[in-house]
Amino acid sequence: MILDGKNVLITGGTGSFGKQFVKTALASKLNRLAVFSRDELKQFEMSNDIKDPRLEFFVGDVRDKDRLYRALDGIDYVIHAAALKQIPSCEYNPFEAIKTNVIGAENIMEVAIDRGVRKVIALSSDKAVNPINLYGATKLCSDKIFVAGNSYTGKKTTKFSVVRYGNVVGSRGSVIPFFLQWKSLGILPITDVRMTRFWITLEKGVDFVIQGLEMMRGGEIFVPKIPSMKIVDLAQAIGPECKLDIVGIRPGEKLHEVMITEDDARYTYEYSKYFIIEPAFHWWRGNNNDGGNKVPEGFRYSSDLNTEWLSVEDLRRLVCPN
């Protein structure tokens, strides 16, 4: 594995993705794994759950550049997963979202270059594509910062890339806990019966990030081929006996999500299990990974036009594996 023998740091390491990444990374032969996050209680709980001398913890915030200088000392690879991502909270606290998701991304980029980090891969979101809420807008800015970071390195060799995927099964803020809570009342609130979303498990998300870390040359946005699901099918999987209450689409919410737009398509190559959106850098011409095919003009990768779908039974197995 690419992590073998390396010193790795993950920001937001006590979140849903972070916990799964730590579990997967410690199964490799890495040298050191640093968890960087703001919540000392979650770090304490994680340290009690996972006893491994290679695991260490930094209490810190990506807004604090000085703390990042200390934490990234001697680090080979950075996985940037820290973000404010609750859409209503970001709408109500816009400057806080900007400080963490945008300024924090800039801090990671600058400190990684100065500390000689070899590779940085940042987690994005389908919300960053044609954003209609502040969270999506900040993630779009973050993506742009990390892609552009490859032009800021000067004589340094630090490389930056981005991984973009959709909703994660079992993550905090997922609709699943919300549905499970309402199930006991015999009713499930649905925003719109037409709504679709991309769907990925935590395990597959982590594996794809590690794969991107291994493949990256700097500047790419990696997009996995993942299935779509209908929100009404998810409701049927969780509470088949429940009545659906149509409440309407909330502010800042889309009917369908997009991960590659028609404009992105001009720079996009398709592979068997993923897409790569190449950066519009002159030095990137001819630098695309072998085996990819240019997607056709006007291509769009959206949750409603997907060719792979999860059925009610598929969703039930994911949500209620036991």
In a domain, 263, yes or no: yes
Average pLDDT over residues 269-273: 94
**What's the pLDDT score for residue 26?**
96
In a domain, 250, yes or no: no
Q: How confident is the model at residue 88 (pLDDT cuts 50, 70, 90)?
A: confident
| pLDDT > 70? residue 262 | yes
**What's the pLDDT score for residue 175?**
76
Q: How confident is the model at residue 147 (pLDDT cuts 50, 70, 90)?
A: very high
In a domain, 191, yes or no: no
**190-221 CB burial, b ≥16 within 10 A, e <16:** beeeebbbbbbebebbbebbbbbbebbbbbbb
Q: How confident is the model at residue 285 (pLDDT cuts 50, 70, 90)?
A: low
| pLDDT > 70? residue 321 | no
Task: State pLDDT tens for residues 294-317.
Answer: 999 999 999 999 999 999 999 888
CATH of the domain at 124: 3.40.50.720
- Active-site residue flag, 127: yes
Phi-psi category of residue 247: left, alpha or beta, with phi > 0 → left and psi -120 to 50 → alpha: alpha
Domain tally, the chain: 1
In a domain, 190, yes or no: no
Average pLDDT over residues 280-291: 66
**What's the pLDDT score for residue 286?**
52
Whole-number percent of the chain with pLDDT over 70: 95
In a domain, 295, yes or no: yes
In a domain, 282, yes or no: yes
**What's the pLDDT score for residue 295?**
95
Q: Residue 288 sits in which domain range?
A: 7-167+199-226+259-300
| Nearest to 210, CA basis, from 128, 300, 274, 295 | 274
Q: How confident is the model at residue 250 (pLDDT cuts 50, 70, 90)?
A: confident
Q: What is the pTM of this model?
A: 0.93
Which residue(s) pair with 245 in the sheet? 189
In a domain, 289, yes or no: yes
Which residue out of 6, 127, 230, 254 is catalytically annotated? 127
Average pLDDT score, the chain: 92
Q: How confident is the model at residue 185 (pLDDT cuts 50, 70, 90)?
A: confident
